[in-house]
Structure formats: structure tokens, C-alpha cells
Amino acid sequence: MKLSIWDTAGQEKFDSLTKLYFNNTEAALIVYDVTSELSYEKVQKWTKDLNDHELTSGVKIVKFIVGNKVDCEEVEVTARTGMAYAESIGAEFHEVSAKMDTNITPLFQDVCYQLNKLDNEALQ
């Protein structure tokens, strides 16, 4: 499977540009910093934006809530919190450390698995 990945960095000054990337999107990784409650609070905004896009486009987007920086000791957002939110919106949940390359491969394996699963459901 070939993936095209766009990192929009979640900065508010790029909000209008970021929404342009939603077109033709099949999966979205909404990443937050587990050491920052403020970072986690933005997850709900991005999820709402994705849900709005799904409603207007009629295209299902597979969502992944991803807690990054699990290598750090100053955790403000627990895995339980992230997992509960992901479950409440029907998203997959992963915790990773991009810096230490922790759980990155399983995350992208799950992305490929979920996209393949979605394609198979569409064929039936």
C-alpha cells in the first residue's frame, strides 16, 4: 500500500489551508502531545472539522487519535483519557514516540489495515 502523508502541524494560522487537505483524504492521524493538555484539547476541534467534512463530502475518513512523546516523564494526558476519547468517536488509538521510534510501525500497519478493511467493506 502506498500512503501520501501530509503534516499540517495543527497550527491555527494554517487552518484554512489544512482543510484543503481533507479532500480525497481516506485516513487522518490526529496527533497530540501527551505532555500538553492544551495540545490534547485541540484534538476535539480537528475531529469536529473532519466530521464536518465527512458530512459535506459523503466520504468516510478513518480516524486515528495518536498520543506522541510517550518517552517523556511529564505526562499530562493519560493513555486512558486518549483511548476513551478515541472510543467515543469510533477512532483507533495509539501512543507513540516519534523521537524514539516507539510504536510508529504498528501505527502505520494499523492505518494500512483499517484502509484495506474499509475498501473491502465498500466492495461488498
Q: Distance (Å, rounded) from C-alpha 74 to C-alpha 35?
A: 6
CB proximity list for 89: less than 8 A, separation 6 or greater: 47, 63, 65
Q: Given this model, what pLDDT does residue 1 score?
A: 85
Q: Supply the pTM of this predicted model.
A: 0.92
pLDDT tens per residue across span 51-89: 999 999 998 999 999 999 999 999 999 999 999 999 999
Q: Distance (Å, rounded) from C-alpha 2 to C-alpha 74?
A: 35
CB 80 within 8 A of CB 95: no
- DSSP-derived secondary structure letter, 114: H
